[in-house]
């Protein structure tokens, strides 16, 4: 088994975890409205120091790639890539869509026609993607408002950090849904399971960046 450092700061929190021999041996998580660039590297240092593992013994540096906070995605990926490059190790990324769906046990997924991952944009709309119960993507990631949203499936399992607001805004009741918000531990476990065919650590942008210039 691999030793994996996982980073997740694309969602509403910033987290770091270290997996070794299939188990999380050290982790940290902080929820802030901003400031992740300043706290991420010290978090990593604390997690690695507590674990007793040397940086050179880490095989894979993995990070979430979005959708989510534009700054969080860039900071997490840049940090994972830089550490991997400096140590001659592998870097990888996983989308928050995949990670959110992955968190749901198959025994729950197989009860439904499809999974709809709804991620927060902190605007009127949502980042969305459909998956089949075996986690094969049924659609590409897309952006949509919830009101009047139409699904090709009747029985949907709704997951992700946007499910509460999505259901309220849609004006309809979903018979089955659960909250599924991935963190660095999820990134580690997914990476360990897919370590033989890892995707590149590239940012996933579903829409243009929504940024403003401070005046």
Write out the E strands in 21-155.
23-30, 60-64, 90-94, 114-120, 126-131, 142-144
Q: In whole angstroms, what is the distance from residue 99 CA to residue 83 CA?
A: 22
The pLDDT assigned to 215 comes to 45
Instruction: Report pLDDT digits (tens) over 148-171.
Output: 888 999 899 999 999 989 999 998
Is 210 inside a domain boundary? no
Among 23-27, 32-36, 87-91, 121-125, the range scoring the smallest mean pLDDT is: 32-36
125 and 79, same structural domain? no
Same domain as 9, residue 50 = yes
For position 208, what pLDDT does the model report? 62
What is the tally of structural domains in the chain? Answer: 2
Is residue 84 located within the same domain as residue 16? yes
Same domain, 16 and 90: yes
Q: Domain span at residue 84?
A: 4-95+182-197
Same domain, 26 and 57: yes
Q: Within this chain, do residues 64 and 34 fall inside the same structural domain, yes or no?
A: yes
User: Does one domain contain both 167 and 192?
Assistant: no
Let me know if residue 42 belongs to a domain: yes
Residues 103-118 have a mean pLDDT of 94
Q: List, edge to edge, every strand of the sheet that includes 23-30.
A: 23-30, 14-20, 4-8, 60-64, 90-94
pLDDT at 33: 64
Q: Give the single-character DSSP code of 34.
A: S
Q: Is residue 213's pLDDT more than 50?
A: no
The answer to whether 148 and 25 are in contact (CB under 8 A) is: no
Q: What is the CA radius of gyration of the chain?
A: 17
pLDDT recorded at residue 98: 96
Q: Is there a single domain that holds both residue 65 and residue 83?
A: yes
Q: Is 208 part of any domain? A: no
pTM of the model: 0.90
CB half-sphere exposure, 178, CA atoms < 13 A? 12
Q: What value does the mean pLDDT take over residues 55-79? A: 94
Q: Does 88 lie in the same domain as 12?
A: yes
Give the residue-averaged pLDDT of 174-189.
85
């Amino acid at each position: 088994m691999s030793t994996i450092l996982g980073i997740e700061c694309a969602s509403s929190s910033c987290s770091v975890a270290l997996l070794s021999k299939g188990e999380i041996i050290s982790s940290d998580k902080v929820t802030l409205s901003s400031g992740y660039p300043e706290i991420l590297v010290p978090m990593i240092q604390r997690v690695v120091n507590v674990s007793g593992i040397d940086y050179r013994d880490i095989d894979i540096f993995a990070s979430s790639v979005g959708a989510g906070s534009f700054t969080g995605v860039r900071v997490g990926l840049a940090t994972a890539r830089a550490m991997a490059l400096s140590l001659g190790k592998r870097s990888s990324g996983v989308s928050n869509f995949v990670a959110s769906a992955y968190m749901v046990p198959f025994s729950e997924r197989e009860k439904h026609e499809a999974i709809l991952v709804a991620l927060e944009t902190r605007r009127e709309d949502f980042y969305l993607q459909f998956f089949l119960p075996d986690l094969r993507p049924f659609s590409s990631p897309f952006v949509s408002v919830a009101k009047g949203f139409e699904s090709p499936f009747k029985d949907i399992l709704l997951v992700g950090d946007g499910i509460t607001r999505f259901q309220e805004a849609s004006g309809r009741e979903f018979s089955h849904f659960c909250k599924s918000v991935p963190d660095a531990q999820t990134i580690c476990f997914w990476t360990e399971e897919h370590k033989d065919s890892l995707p590149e650590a590239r940012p996933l942008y579903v829409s243009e960046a929504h940024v403003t210039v401070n005046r």
